[in-house]
Chain A
């Protein structure tokens, strides 16, 4: 196996299971590929450890409390928004029926003046 073939395998192989026997054999003989393998393996382990390291900053009780209050606030806001929307529709409809519609009717079909 050449260094190029070994690097190609290193580029996509799982670091959680052993490399194929030819690649492992090559890496055992080639210092450059062995180093590349070690860097990738250590890098992924370090990245995983870094991601796993920190616990969430907020404790569970506070998080639950905030989640409950924000969620119920949003629910109220949603209900208010829908109610306001419905109210606006009703107002628009009433405005049309009471104010605008008679004028439109007059404009389209004007009352005939008496000729007598």
Chain B
């Protein structure tokens, strides 16, 4: 079984001697520009990883990351160190992603081109009947992006980034049971897509 670092590989490793998050935020709240830069440096990769998991596209994730830090700069004064900083930042990421998706949906309704439909079939690449890993990855990504936001984020945080349901519940401000229920539904939806594609494959005489 796989063993990935909680928070994903993109999460930066923060040395123990580094200034604490609370201290950096306190200095940034006081208007210290260098502290805000340090805050961005520390959280940039994590915010980007969260964003890419939610939007599924790196260019869009860059835009989301940018917007998140703009909002965080504007709301830094509102942060109270009693709450989880990760949770607070994640809420902003989630809000920005939700608004982006709403705008996209509105644009689509207004007559923009429909999103390109990707193939829902897993194909074979060699006579040894090995499933194309890239196709499975794309299939899973499409299935992930088709999920409701809550299920998508829970699947990404738990199964892809390796956080426990308890950690995710704290991050999202949910009950553990809700996290587990969303995770169960998300896994079911994604794997049904993969398993049904495998079914088609099994009948393939290749």
Contact = CB atoms under 8 A, between A and B. Distances in A.
A55 B161 CA distance: 15
A10 B156 contact: no
A29 interface: no
B74 A17 contact: no
A79 interface: no
B70 interface: yes
A15 B2 contact: yes
Contact of A51 (B1, B52, B74): B52
Contacts of A74: 70, 74
Contacts of B8: 48, 51-52
B58 interface: yes
B175 interface: no
Interface residues of A, number: 45
A67 B136 contact: no
Q: Is the interface of A mostly helix, strand, loop or mixed?
A: helix
Contacts of B40: 60, 63-64, 67
Contacts of B194: 39-40, 43
B187 A12 contact: yes
Interface string B45-78: 1001100110000110110011001111110000
Interface string B113-131: 0000000001000000001
B148 to A, nearest CB: 17
Nearest to B61: A56
Contacts of B156: 51
A90 to B, nearest CB: 28
Nearest to A54: B58
B136 A11 contact: no
Contact of B198 (A35, A61, A71): A35
Q: Which 8 A-B pairs have the closest CB atoms?
A: A67-B69, A52-B9, A71-B73, A60-B41, A43-B136, A56-B48, A64-B40, A48-B160
Interface of B: 1-4, 8-10, 33, 36-37, 39-41, 44-45, 48-49, 52-53, 58-59, 61-62, 65-66, 69-74, 122, 131, 133-134, 136-137, 139-141, 144, 156, 158-162, 184, 187-188, 191-192, 194-195, 198, 202
